[in-house]
Structure 1
Amino acid sequence: MKKKLFMGIGVCTLAFGLVACGGDDKAEEEVAAPEESENVEQEMGPDIDTESIPDVIATVNGEDINKEIYVGNLEQGAMQLQMQGIDIESEEGLAELEVMKEQLLDRIINSTLITQAANEEGVEATEEEIDKGITELIAQIGLESEEQLQELLDEQGVSTDELRADVAETVKSEKYLDQNIEVSDISEEDLQAAYDELVEMVEAEGEGKETPEIPSFEDYREQLEYQMQMEQEQEQVGKLIETLRADSEITTHI
C-alpha cells in the first residue's frame, strides 16, 4: 500500500495562496489590530528582498523556472516562522530563512525533474484524476464547495484552466513515482522489532522521570506501519531524484 508524499510545487504555492487569502486572513483580522497586521508585513519585507531575486531562479534541462513559485513558498515559510514565535530579523530567524531558501530551491528543482520525467515517459492524467485532485485540494484548504474555490481563484487571478493544469502535473508526477518505486509490505516481525525499539527508547529517555504512557502494539501498529512505509518510500524517491539529477543539466541563478 503506497502513500502519497509528492505534491507539485505549483499546487503547493496555490494552496498556500488560497489559504492566505481565505479564512485564515479573516481570522487574523479578528484577533490582531490593523496596526499589528501592518507591522507583521513590514517585518517580513526587509528580510525577503524579492526584488533582488532574478526572474529565472534556475534552468533545468533547458526549462526556466520563474521566481513566482520560489517567492510564494518563501513568503509562506517566513509567515510560518513568525507563527512559531521566531523573529525573522533575529540571528536565529535569518539562519532559518537561509536554510529554508536552500531547501526550497532544491525542492522546486526536484519537482521539476519529476514532472519532466513523467512527461518524457508519456504519463497522462485523466479528467477524473484531475477532478479528484481538485476535490482533495478543496478539502486540504478547508473549503466546502467548488464555488468557494472559484471565488478564491478569482481573488488570486488564477483561471480554472491554470488550476487544472497544475493539478494535472501533480497527478502525472505521482503516477510516475508509483511506476518507478516499489514499497514492500512491512512484516509483522519488523513491525514488532520497531515497536520494541521505540518502547526501549521512550523508557530510557524517561528514566528517573514519570514515563509517558506507551500505547500497546496493536493500538500503535497502523501508525507504525504508515511511518515505516513513508520512510521506505522517501528513501526510494530520494534515490530516484539522485539519478534524475545525475542525468540532467541544472543551472541555478540564485
Structure 2
Amino acid sequence: MSELIEIEGFITCLTNARIPYTLALTGSTARGELRNNSGRYDYDSDTDILCIIEPDSISATLSCKKNYTHSIPLILMSACALSHPSNAVLSIAFDSLITNDLSLSKPDFTNTSTAEFIAYQLQPLAYYTSQLKYSKPETQRRLYSKIAITCLKLLYLTQHPNKRSFIYEQELKLQGLTNIDEMLVQKILNRDLPDTELRDATERLEHQVTQFASIIAAADFLESTRLYILDKDNYSKRIIESIFLENNKLKRSDTLFIEAA
C-alpha cells in the first residue's frame, strides 16, 4: 500500500508539472504468460509498471524523481525506446495501458533487421549472466532459470529468423527445438529442475547459443551484447549500464527508483 501511495505521489508531481506520460504494465504477467507455479522450483511471475515520457520531458521528470531515493516499483522509459525491439518494449501490454497521455500504440517491428532483432533478444542473456557475479545465492536460482529460457528462445530464433515479435514460452513448448532434448525443454519451462541440474543445463545451453555465427555477428549491433561476447565477467557492470541506455534510453540511475541507484 505504501508503494502505491509513493507511485501516486510521483504521478501527482508529473501532473502538477504538466508532464504528459503513459503508464504501462510489462513483464510475464502483463504478457499473459500466467503460470500456476506448480513446478517444484517455480517462482512468482513478475509485473512492472513503466512510466513512459517524451524525450523533452526527461529533465522535468527527473526533477520530480529526485524526491524519491528509496525503492518504488516504477520504471522510467523514454518514448524513443519504443523504436527498438527490446524485450522491455515487446512485453508492454499495449491493449491495457493504465494511462496513455502520449497516445502510444503498439510498435511494428516487421522491417527490423535480423541483426538488430537478434541483438535485442540476446540482451537478456547478457543482463542475467552479468548479475550472477554479484547475486546472492537465493537469487541465483531465478537467474539461472531466466538464462536457460533466454537460451531456448535464442535457439528457437535461429530456426525462425523472420520472427519479429515476443517469443512466448508456449511457442517453445509446442514447436520444439532442433538438437535439444524435448524433456529438458519441458522441465526448464516448467521450472522443474533442481539447482545443480538447472545450472549444468544452463551452462550447456549458453555454450550452444554462442556457437551460432548469426548470433555472434548480431552481437556487434549493441554495446551490451558485444561486451557480453567479449568478456561477460570483466564487463558485467558496463553491460548492465549499457542495457538500461539501450532499452530505456535513460541511465540506470535515472530509470530505477532505488536507493543509491
TM-score by length of 2: 0.24
Structure with more of its chain in strand, by fraction: 2
Structure with more of its chain in helix, by fraction: 1
Q: Which has the higher contact order (CA 8 A, sep 6+)?
A: 1
TM-score by length of 1: 0.25
Which is greater in Rg?
1
